[in-house]
């Protein structure tokens, strides 16, 4: 086993051809002949009764959760990927966000689901892409995919992340969720372009962005500074929409240096690297393109689990939110749910 053992596996897993080559998504090796890795783990499918439910992928494909699998080898599947799962199973029953370690474990686990969806969606897109139009997997995309892989591989070998914006190199916002039987116990939304994923499971709601922590620069408390608060499922869907939307506006990435020694991997986030290099009014490099309330309103409506009044009314030019009561507090769910049947 050489010193750069894990980094070379990561490199192989995150290489462009591996997306279509059907190799193990986590090491680039030969996959098993079986189903591979379930992107939404089986224990979650059982617990939240998902096996007959469908997920909508961005290219319009609808897949039942139980068929949402990606190529994976036996060693990864039963090894470090299982460890990533096991770390969070108990957490879902007894959530405790006060420990930094459990927040990292949760972020890493969400990152695994995100990478799974990314691999699935990208391979479907590549299958249908017109090769004469050039690659749809850009070098920037692959670089960020490589970074997401590094987060996963930290379960294979001890990894030290030195990050510019927070304790770990990603954005993670967590919420307590009210149980409302009309809304079920589970909800998932992703934004492959912005590299964000939001999951609501039982009393836990979490949003992860593979952005090296850039949304922390915009606000540590997340949208409307509500991190850690108790939200209704509709309110969580609005939070998710706001984070997904912000993620699509990201106009920068990071430069990293990565070193592997016999005992650990050290990942240093060196600097923020803007994509467009547009200067803001304050004279700094733009990190997020300007926010458009109307675009965001469309996404909030799209992700709402039930139909409600429009988020933006073009006639009155007024926006409604499920989150703020306009007096610095959280809106009562009664205001937007109406009377119980
Ligand atoms: Zn593997």
Domain ranges of the chain: 5-337
- Cα(10) to ligand 1 centroid in Å equals 10
Short-list 313, 332, 310, CA closest to 322: 332
- Distance from Cα 79 to the centre of ligand 1, integer Å: 9
Ligand 1 center from residue 22 Cα (angstroms): 11
As separate numbers, helices (DSSP H) first and strands (DSSP E) second, the chain gives 11, 14
Cα of 65 to ligand 1 centre, how many Å? 22
Ligand 1 centre to CA of 294 (Å) is 43
Give 151 Cα–ligand 1 centroid separation in angstroms. Answer: 15
CA of 74 to the centre of ligand 1 (A): 7
Task: Please give the distance, rounded to the nearest whole angstrom, from the Cα atom of residue 6 to the centre of ligand 1.
Answer: 11
Residue 59 is predicted with a pLDDT of 65
Pair 246, 291: CB distance under 8 Å:
yes
pLDDT values of the chain reduced to their tens digit, one per residue, 341 residues: 566 789 999 988 888 677 667 899 999 999 988 888 999 999 999 999 998 899 887 667 788 999 999 999 999 999 999 999 999 988 887 888 788 778 899 999 999 999 999 888 887 777 666 666 655 667 788 888 899 999 999 999 999 999 999 999 999 999 999 999 999 999 999 988 899 999 999 999 999 999 999 999 888 999 999 999 999 999 999 999 999 999 999 999 999 999 999 999 999 999 999 999 899 989 999 999 999 999 999 999 999 988 877 899 999 999 999 999 988 899 888 888 876 65
CA 144 to ligand 1 centroid distance, Å? 20
Distance CA 310, CA 321 (A): 10
DSSP class per residue in 4-22: THHHHHHHHHTSTTHHHHT
pLDDT the model gives residue 43:
92
249 CA → ligand 1 middle, Å: 33
Interval between CA 168 and ligand 1 midpoint (Å) = 25
- Count CB-CB contacts under 10 A for residue 123: 17
Cα–ligand 1 centroid distance for 45 (angstroms) = 23
Residue 1: the pLDDT is 54
Q: Are 116 and 70 spatial neighbours (Cβ–Cβ below 8 Å)? A: yes
- CA of 157 from ligand 1 middle (Å) equals 14
- pLDDT of res. 51: 80
Distance 262 CA to ligand 1 centre (A): 20
Q: How far is the CA of 21 from the centre of ligand 1 (A)?
A: 13
- Among 66, 158, 75, 170, which Cα is nearest to 115's? 170
For ligand 1, the distance from its centroid to the CA atom of residue 30, given in whole angstroms, is 7
Write down the pLDDT at residue 48. Answer: 93
13 CA distance to ligand 1 centroid (A)? 8
88 CA → ligand 1 middle, Å: 21
């Amino acid at each position: 086993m050489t010193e750069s053992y894990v980094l070379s596996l990561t490199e192989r897993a995150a290489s462009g051809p591996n997306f279509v080559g059907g190799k193990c998504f986590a090491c680039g090796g030969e996959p098993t002949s079986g189903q591979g890795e379930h992107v939404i783990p089986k224990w979650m499918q059982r617990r939240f009764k998902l096996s007959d439910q469908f997920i909508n992928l961005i290219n319009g494909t609808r897949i039942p959760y139980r068929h949402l699998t990606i190529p994976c080898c036996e060693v990864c599947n039963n090894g470090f990927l299982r460890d990533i799962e096991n770390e969070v199973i108990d957490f879902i029953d007894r959530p405790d966000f006060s420990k930094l370690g459990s927040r990292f474990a949760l972020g890493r686990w969400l990152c695994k689901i995100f990478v799974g969806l990314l691999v699935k969606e990208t391979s479907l897109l590549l299958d249908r892409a017109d090769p004469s139009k050039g690659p749809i997997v850009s070098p920037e995309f692959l670089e960020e995919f490589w970074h997401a892989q590094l987060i996963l591989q930290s379960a294979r070998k001890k990894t030290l992340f030195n990050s510019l914006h927070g304790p770990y190199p990603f954005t993670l916002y967590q919420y307590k969720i009210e149980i409302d039987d009309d809304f079920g116990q589970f909800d998932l939304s992703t934004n492959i372009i912005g590299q964000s994923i939001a999951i609501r499971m039982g009393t836990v709601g979490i949003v992860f962005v593979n952005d090296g922590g850039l949304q922390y620069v915009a606000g540590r408390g997340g949208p409307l500074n509500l991190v850690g608060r108790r939200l209704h499922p509709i309110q969580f869907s609005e939070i998710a929409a706001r984070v997904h939307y912000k993620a699509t506006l990201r106009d920068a990435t990071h430069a990293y240096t990565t070193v592997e020694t016999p005992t650990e991997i050290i990942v240093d986030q060196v600097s923020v690297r803007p994509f467009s290099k547009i200067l803001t009014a304050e004279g700094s490099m733009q990190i997020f393109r300007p926010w458009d309330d109307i675009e965001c309103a469309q996404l909030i409506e799209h992700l709402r689990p039930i139909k409600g009044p429009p988020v933006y009314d073009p006639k009155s030019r007024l926006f409604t939110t499920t989150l703020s009561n306009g007096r610095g507090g959280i809106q009562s769910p009664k205001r937007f749910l109406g009377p119980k049947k």
